[in-house]
Amino acid sequence: MGAYILLRLISAIAVMAMVGGFVFLLLRLASGDPAAMIAGPMATQQTIDGIREQLGLNQPLPVQFAHWALGILSGDLGDSILAGLPVLKLISQRLEPTVSLSILTMILSAAAGVSFGIFAAWRAGGLVDRMLTAFSALGYSVPVFVVGYFLIYFFAIETRWLPVQGYVSVHNGVGPWFSHLILPTIALGVPYIAFIARITRASMLEVLSEDYMRTAAAKGASTYAMLFHHALKNAGAPILTVLGISFAYLIGGVVITETVFNIPGVGRLVVDAINNRDYPVIQGVLILVSGLYVLINLAIDIAYTLVDPRIRY
């Protein structure tokens, strides 16, 4: 397995190198000029040309790429064109909200989704199952921003129980941190709860119909033991896959949630960077996110072997 992990790490580096080259070219070939965005809508061409010169955007593309690639190899993602600050610093400033939101969402999604799925499978065909299935269909279909605005209206404007927007660092108190993340977590978590619940239900139903489950029931195993000791363990692999994939997709989905709830995370950083054609920031975030995707995939593969010892590499 050690050799497998090493091989995967080497391929991950190759993948990230390709991603880097692709992202660099894609941004340069796309329309848009950071100098024009900096200068403002009423600036003359002369002003814009001056800014382009100062930013080094007039240099040939291979030269720009070489500068950037060499920087990456030495751990420097470059400086933001707009903010003038190191990209790593900007990302690190925005990491805490995104990580907080992602982790809370995954905890909520996994806990609620798996519980709903198990419960629905246990009561398959009954009222509870139909209600949970309906919730799953609805939760997976309704866009995050609709859920977000709905939650804001009821829980922030009407009742004033929770804040509308913003983020408070955990260093400023766990209470304020948590209260600012409740609504975004629910809004972002709803589709994942629905998705995980559906997969869990299907997986559990399959396992529950196996012969060994009937044997366990015949031997007098309790419902708890049947569901959690026998069924869930064997239904775990597909659920784990879905959890992993959900976490990877979550990084993309977090952008909308951060916008709706005005959370200054990595998602908003990259959206602002795209709007302003801040190339170094876009490149830096994409490199880091692609690296994260690769690591998550690697972690899922390793987790398989832990959940199901029959899987070997």
Can you give the binding site for another protein, defined by CB under 8 A?
A: 30-34, 36-48, 50-51, 53-54, 80, 82-85, 90, 93, 149, 152-153, 156-157, 160, 163-166, 170-174, 176, 259-262, 264, 268-269, 271-272, 275-277
The angle, 0 to 180 degrees and rounded to 10, between the axes of the packed helices 279-307 and 232-260 is 160
| Runs of H (alpha helix) within 30-163 | 34-39, 45-55, 61-73, 87-122, 127-141, 144-151
CB nearer another protein, residue 159 or residue 223:
159
Q: How far is the CB of 198 from another protein (least distance, A)?
A: 30
CB nearer another protein, residue 236 or residue 265:
265
Contact 128, 136 (CB under 8 A): no
- CA atoms of 298 and 9, how far apart (whole Å): 8
CB nearer another protein, residue 215 or residue 275:
275
Would you call 124 exposed, middle or buried from its count of C-beta atoms within 10 A (0-12, 13-18, 19+)? Answer: middle
Q: How far is the CB of 23 from another protein (least distance, A)?
A: 17
**Which of 106, 104, 192, 205 has its CA nearest to residue 147?**
192
Percentage helix, strand, coil for the chain under 3-state DSSP, each rounded to 5: 80, 0, 20
The angle, 0 to 180 degrees and rounded to 10, between the axes of the packed helices 174-208 and 144-151 is 130
CB nearer another protein, residue 30 or residue 311:
30
CB nearer another protein, residue 56 or residue 126:
56
Helix (H, G, I), strand (E, B) or coil at 86: strand
Q: How far is the CB of 253 from another protein (least distance, A)?
A: 16
CB nearer another protein, residue 115 or residue 259:
259
Q: How far is the CB of 179 from another protein (least distance, A)?
A: 12
Q: How far is the CB of 126 from another protein (least distance, A)?
A: 35
Per-position DSSP letters for 192-226, written without gaps between them: HHHHHHHHHHHHHHHHHTSHHHHHHHHTT--HHII
Would you call 103 exposed, middle or buried from its count of C-beta atoms within 10 A (0-12, 13-18, 19+)? Answer: middle
- CA atoms of 43 and 34, how far apart (whole Å): 13
CB nearer another protein, residue 197 or residue 266:
266
Q: How far is the CB of 255 from another protein (least distance, A)?
A: 11
CB nearer another protein, residue 129 or residue 258:
258
Q: How far is the CB of 129 from another protein (least distance, A)?
A: 35
Q: How far is the CB of 185 from another protein (least distance, A)?
A: 16
Residue 97 φ then ψ, to 5°: -60, -40
